[in-house]
Amino acid sequence: KAGVTQTPRYLIKTRGQQVTLSCSPISGHRSVSWYQQTPGQGLQFLFEYFSETQRNKGNFPGRFSGRQFSNSRSEMNVSTLELGDSALYLCASSGEDRGAFFGQGTRLTVV
């Protein structure tokens, strides 16, 4: 089985711009979660989608949004980028056995 695929791997954006990250889960997995990882805050949960519906949401501002498509692929969008949004963004997919498998992440740098 193919693993979780995140694109792109690296991004450099300017403050005020917006960005869209993509995640393709493991085939058959219907749950996709997004996490932000920074040296200071560690791994923080952004949101979870299950069967195209947002099932959970973390404590992030409304600039962070996401969606899931009928094929379970997910995107997250960050609008009006700030320097503090620089981070590694990780996507995880889960199946019925509750084990979460992560992609390689997208390294976002905001300048």
Partner 1 sequence: AQSVTQLGSHVSVSEGALVLLRCNYSSSVPPYLFWYVQYPNQGLQLLLKYTSAATLVKGINGFEAEFKKSETSFHLTKPSAHMSDAAEYFCAVIDSGNTGKLIFGQGTTLQVKP
List residues binding partner 1 (CB under 8 A). 4, 6, 31, 33, 35, 42-43, 45, 48, 50, 55-56, 88, 90, 92, 94, 97-105, 107
Q: Please state whether beta strands 100-102 and 53-57 pair in parallel, antiparallel, or not at all (unpaired).
A: unpaired
In the complex with partner 1, the residue whose CB is nearer, 10 or 111, is 10
Q: Please state whether beta strands 53-57 and 19-24 pair in parallel, antiparallel, or not at all (unpaired).
A: unpaired
In the complex with partner 1, the residue whose CB is nearer, 73 or 79, is 73
**At closest approach, how far in Å is the CB of 48 from partner 1?**
5
Look at phi and psi of residue 80 and say left if phi exceeds 0, alpha if psi is from -120 to 50, else beta. left
Residues 44, 42: Cα–Cα separation, whole Å:
6
**At closest approach, how far in Å is the CB of 80 from partner 1?**
26
Strand partners, 101: 93
In the complex with partner 1, the residue whose CB is nearer, 37 or 79, is 37
In the complex with partner 1, the residue whose CB is nearer, 62 or 97, is 97
**At closest approach, how far in Å is the CB of 91 from partner 1?**
8
Residues 17, 78: Cα–Cα separation, whole Å:
9
